[in-house]
Amino acid sequence: MEHLTRFDSELVSAATDQSRPVVREGVLEVPGEIALHHGGRLTGVHLAWRLSGPANAPVVAALGGISAHRRVYGDKPAEGWWGEVVGPGRALDASLVRVLSFDYLGGSGETTGPRPGEPFPSVSTYDQADLLLRLVNYLGVKALHAIVGASYGGMVALAFAERYPDRVSEIVTISAADRAHPMATAWRSVERRVLRFAADCGRGSEGLQIARALAMATYRSQEEFAARFSGAPRVGEQGVVFPVEEYLFARGADYAARHRPEAFLCLSESIDLHRVDAGRIFVPTTAVAVREDQLVPVSDMRRLVARLANARLHEISSVYGHDAFLKETAQLKPVFAALTGSIA
């Protein structure tokens, strides 16, 4: 029997104050062995999750990229990985819904993931969808009001909609199509090769910094980089350092301090393994495409919508490219308002 093994005492006490949102957080133990989509098997899986919002409100699952985690938002916009967009009174208004999220299988959070020197099976977006279903069942939620997924989270939303159409009323997929674009796979393949080479040399953390720096170069647009990093280089202790180089490797170092190399390899691969059958997805879907997105071209999003049975396309422009879902609050607000309009 699946059961909760841990509660955060502060979060539980919040439930007794009716003037505050109810926040529940825990780790679910999955009994026995689970079979994964690509043939692997895992036992003793732990699933770390968080549910926050008004008691008895509809539940919206909010899922992000491979570096996202279960804390979607907090009291301030700077708290949580999507705090600028999600929260009470924000674009996705958490005063109207309960927001559910979890640490991904294979990631760096408290959900089961790879450890140094230990083999770990390939993980599919279908596997993440299966774990989300287990969590929904445990919480006693008959059907999710919606899944809002961005980047990898949008892939998981599509996988869930294909497998469990009766358990979600609608989905929003932002910068995520039915499969990865080959050019994006090319970039990520190089990132993974760099990281594996560094790990073989005993420098896994440094390899992760470099891999993440390369990834960051694909997340934003040419226009943003031109506006921010056209200044002259400086001469440092190790030679010439360009402004964009300094930015990328600072972000890489920050990422490497918070994530494990093995988790990056696992979930980066999971993105490129992603393939769902759009022709079998009948759940109402809103697809948000960013015209400047280098990783998920707008043409891929248009083809996805053409194959879906019940979908609409919402196109936006943003200098933030693939990262637009983290920044473009005003442009995303109409999409989320359509989700919550019937609730309000």
- 174, 195: one domain: no
- 311, 264: one domain: no
Q: Give the domain-ending residue among 214, 236, 270.
A: 270
Provide the residue range defining the domain that includes 102: 3-179+277-340
- 123, 14: one domain: yes
Active-site residue 69, yes or no?
A: no
Token pair for 300: 């891929």
Active-site residue 318, yes or no?
A: no
Residue 213 near residue 251, CB atoms below 8 Å: yes
Higher pLDDT, 294 or 342: 294
- The one catalytic residue among 52, 101, 108, 151: 151
Active-site residue 322, yes or no?
A: yes
- 90, 174: one domain: yes
- 170, 309: one domain: yes
- 17, 117: one domain: yes
- The one catalytic residue among 103, 318, 322, 323: 322
pLDDT in tens, 216-248: 999 999 999 999 999 999 998 889 999 999 999
Q: Region 279-298: what's the mean pLDDT? A: 98
Q: How far apart are CA 140 and CA 167, in angstroms?
A: 12
- 286, 324: one domain: yes
Question: What pTM was computed for the model?
Answer: 0.94
Q: How far apart are CA 105 and CA 127, in angstroms?
A: 8
- 53, 160: one domain: yes
Confidence class of residue 3 from pLDDT cuts 50, 70 and 90?
Answer: low
Q: Give the domain-ending residue among 243, 270, 297.
A: 270
Predicted local distance difference test score (pLDDT) of residue 237: 82
- The one catalytic residue among 127, 178, 293, 323: 293
- 261, 299: one domain: no
- 172, 283: one domain: yes
CATH code of the domain covering residue 240: 1.10.1740.110
- 202, 120: one domain: no
- 105, 230: one domain: no
Domain count of the chain? 2
pLDDT in tens, 113-160: 999 989 999 999 999 999 999 999 999 999 999 999 999 999 999 999
Q: Give the domain-ending residue among 225, 255, 270.
A: 270
CATH code of the domain covering residue 151: 3.40.50.1820
Confidence class of residue 14 from pLDDT cuts 50, 70 and 90?
Answer: very low
